[in-house]
Amino acid sequence: MSINALKKPAAVLAALSMLAGAAHADDAGKDEFMQACAACHGESGVGDGPLAELMTVPVPNLTTLAQSNDGVFPMLEVIHVIDGRTGVRGHGYPMPVWGSRFKSEVVESMGEYGAEMVVRGRVLSIAYYLESIQQK
């Protein structure tokens, strides 16, 4: 059997594992969103969560972020707003600083660097989920 014949199945397996990983990432992002964001932004992300009426600023519709940005999802801005530790307060002060909250949950058990990796993963998974629910 030639080397090229062996490469094709390996490439297919690698592609399938990446797809499975992407599906898992979408699930993780949705889970994170439901736990951290849905109370204000609603389960569908349109800003109609049970706490939205108690907010002092309007809760934004997160399904129109790309639409409001000339059809391009503003990934970096979304990451900064979710994390909240960079000073970007894109939609009002009541937005929790999720970066600090997520870090405080694991810093004791994982240390500073490990905790930061967890924070970045959680924030990125939410951002990817938000990208996946954009209206066309």
Residue pair 59/41 in contact (Cβ under 8 Å)? The answer is: yes
Residue 55: band (very low, low, confident or very high) from pLDDT cuts 50, 70, 90: confident
Q: Note the pTM of the prediction, 2 decimals.
A: 0.77
Q: Summarize pLDDT for 106-123 with one digit per residue, the tens.
A: 999 999 999 999 999 999
Residue 56: band (very low, low, confident or very high) from pLDDT cuts 50, 70, 90: confident
Residue 67: band (very low, low, confident or very high) from pLDDT cuts 50, 70, 90: very high
State yes or no: pLDDT of 59 exceeds 70: yes
Residue 96 DSSP one-character state: -
User: CA 101, CA 83: separation in Å to the nearest integer?
Assistant: 9
Task: Answer with the residue of higher pLDDT: 124 or 17.
Answer: 124
Q: How far is CA 105 from CA 4, 78, 93, in A?
A: 48, 22, 22
Q: Summarize pLDDT for 73-116 with one digit per residue, the tens.
A: 999 999 999 999 886 555 556 788 999 999 999 999 999 999 99
Residue listed under structure tokens 């959680």: 122
